[in-house]
Structure 1
Amino acid sequence: MKNMKVLIVDDAKFICELVTKIVSEAFPASTVKAAFNGEEARVLLTSEAFDIILCDWEMPKMSGLEVLKWTRAQPQYKTVPFVMVTSRGEREYVLKAIHAGVNDYLGKPFTKEQLVQKMNKVLGTAQAPDAAKQAKAAKMMEQDKEKVESISKNVPKPKGMAHLRVHDQVFKCAIKDMSLKDVLVVVKNEGKFPQVLDQAVIDIEQLSGDSVARVNGFIQMVQAAEAHINSAFINIRVTLVDDDPDKMAHLSKYIASVR
């Protein structure tokens, strides 16, 4: 497409610079502009007309999903190609994007070839979002919701809430059981979870005036909470390695309070 106008939306400046370089080299006649959050994107989209939008999901002020929904509500952008370029590749996010009218999805990190391929795929096929795909995504989202609610009814009341930190990832979890030797937690299956033997830190949220701020350990077990490849929850057992007497005394008090 000659004289193509491309809008890149990402709160990471280096991503905007990288995508601008790739697009300018692959489509020399194009004009590329960048917005560093969803609100800036909306202002640009209102003041100018763009032929394709490459948008991140997680941004301040206005998320990529909100930008997508807003563009599809504007008559001039109902058929403009919209590609979500993001690290959020979990099923839940993909279904939400399809339901909102996204044309395609590109996961981070990506190569130059992958980005150009996605752009070529959606360019020149300007059309309204596929209503059948949107309806299917909505149905799958409802089924997932019902499944989670059904499982939740059969899950015993948690003994507390915690954050499990492994490498650079943080998992919000419910504590199913705990002792001075290990902690069994359950996390929502979002496609990413720790590996056995990974070092881990658990920050346990207080239920009373006393709190256990931090417990060190390693991942002993990772198990689907139900016998299904799409299990909505994952059980994780963390073996504790702390030998600090004061921390153990504090942990004992906490365990006694939730038994």
Structure 2
Amino acid sequence: MAVLKALVVDDASFVRDLVKRTVRQRFPVMELTEAANGKRAQSLMSRTTFDLVLCDWEMPEMTGLELLQWMREQPQYQKVPFIMITSRGDKDHVIEAVKQGVSEYLGKPFSPEGLSKKIIKVMGKRLKEAMSRSGKLMASPADAFKESASLLTQKREPAEPPKSPAVAADNPLLRGAASSPSPANKARPAKAPLSVASVRFAESTLRSVVKDITLNEVRVIAKRDQDFPGILDQAVVDIEVAEGQMARLNGYVHQLQAVDKRQDTDFVSVVVRFVDEDPQKLEDLSRFIARFRAGG
């Protein structure tokens, strides 16, 4: 029987589903409600008091930061845990969220284990007691849920930190991908410079070049000697939309395919479907596509 109420806020239904499945699987004492943006969340929070809020940062109508600011002004929500789940992990954004009263900060893509640890940390004794009353056992944060099952993710060794586009452009991976003899490469004239993308997963980062991109998905080419994700794994695609300006696009792995029709191919094609509905992200993506089509 659910005894705690949690609100999941994200404009991407795919991400909301991931959060909900993880919470339901590991914390059955929580009753879940969802909202597609900050305005809807604000309306729900005005009518019902929630014990935990798990929220994205970049959303249309009202951002996660704006919702957090409003929430901390309400007497009933001044001490309620708020976990910011976002692809914006740079230092300035973390500091800003802390100033506004965020309880914890979780970067996208996230693993079920990572999300579970954050929930245990912010809910503490209250969650432990609720689980005990319901007859469920609570794992400690130290070994937080070591069960082998994972939700749409695979356990991998941590990858090296993502390189900036300026550094990655000199990587042999990109020169190799540009000269790959695949039919797809022959069909499109080579672009100069190549459009570099870092595709981040829960526990690895794929260095790649953009082969094709639309408002719905991106196809990248990556060297085979890297750690590859599984189908439906969460992904964040980092692309430079303007000089010094990065877009972080949330999505999931839709397809993995060898570039060449042979078993020892050196390159793999990865298709990531986008899930964001934020108008600003779509505008940034449109600008990148226009530049990409024009040849850089």
Q: TM-score, normalised by structure 1?
A: 0.52
Kept in 2, the 8 Å contact 1:57–1:86? The answer is: yes
After TM superposition, give the deviation of residue 215 of structure 1 in Å.
4.9
- The aligned counterpart of 1:56 is 56
Kept in 2, the 8 Å contact 1:165–1:171? The answer is: no
Q: Which runs of 4+ in 1 moved over 4 A?
A: 188-191
- The aligned counterpart of 1:24 is 24
Kept in 2, the 8 Å contact 1:69–1:100? The answer is: yes
After TM superposition, give the deviation of residue 165 of structure 1 in Å.
5.1
Distance verdict in 2 for CA 1:116–1:72, change over 3 Å: same
**Runs of 5+ consecutive residues of structure 2 not aligned to the other structure:** 127-193, 198-236, 249-286
Kept in 1, the 8 Å contact 2:240–2:247? The answer is: no
Superposed counterparts of 1:13-162, under 5 Å: 13-124=13-124
- The aligned counterpart of 2:242 is 172
Kept in 1, the 8 Å contact 2:7–2:32? The answer is: yes
After TM superposition, give the deviation of residue 25 of structure 1 in Å.
1.2
- The aligned counterpart of 1:5 is 5
- The aligned counterpart of 2:278 is none
Distance verdict in 2 for CA 1:11–1:43, change over 3 Å: same
Q: Distance in 1 between matches of 2:196 and 2:61?
A: 28
Report the structure number with the largest CA radius of gyration. Answer: 1
Q: Distance in 1 between matches of 2:26 and 2:36?
A: 22
Distance verdict in 2 for CA 1:171–1:52, change over 3 Å: same
SS at match of 1:28: coil
Root-mean-square deviation over aligned CA pairs? 2.9
After TM superposition, give the deviation of residue 172 of structure 1 in Å.
2.4
- The aligned counterpart of 1:196 is none
Kept in 2, the 8 Å contact 1:106–1:115? The answer is: yes
Distance verdict in 2 for CA 1:15–1:189, change over 3 Å: closer
2:26 alignment partner AA: A
1:172 alignment partner AA: A
After TM superposition, give the deviation of residue 18 of structure 1 in Å.
1.2
> After superposition, what is the alpha-carbon deviation per residue over 1:141-174, rounded to whole angstroms, capped at 9, x for unaligned?
xxxxxxxxxxxxxxxxxxxxxxx9533512422x
- The aligned counterpart of 1:155 is none
After TM superposition, give the deviation of residue 118 of structure 1 in Å.
0.2
After TM superposition, give the deviation of residue 100 of structure 1 in Å.
0.6
Kept in 2, the 8 Å contact 1:6–1:33? The answer is: yes
SS at match of 2:11: coil
Q: Distance in 1 between matches of 2:37 and 2:2?
A: 27
Superposed counterparts of 1:158-237, under 5 Å: 166-167=196-197, 169-173=239-243, 187=244, 214-216=294-296
Kept in 2, the 8 Å contact 1:91–1:190? The answer is: no
**Runs of 5+ consecutive residues of structure 1 not aligned to the other structure:** 127-163, 174-186, 192-202, 205-212, 217-259
After TM superposition, give the deviation of residue 125 of structure 1 in Å.
7.1
Kept in 2, the 8 Å contact 1:90–1:190? The answer is: no
Q: TM-score, normalised by structure 2?
A: 0.46
Count of aligned pairs: 148
SS at match of 1:62: coil
After TM superposition, give the deviation of residue 27 of structure 1 in Å.
1.1
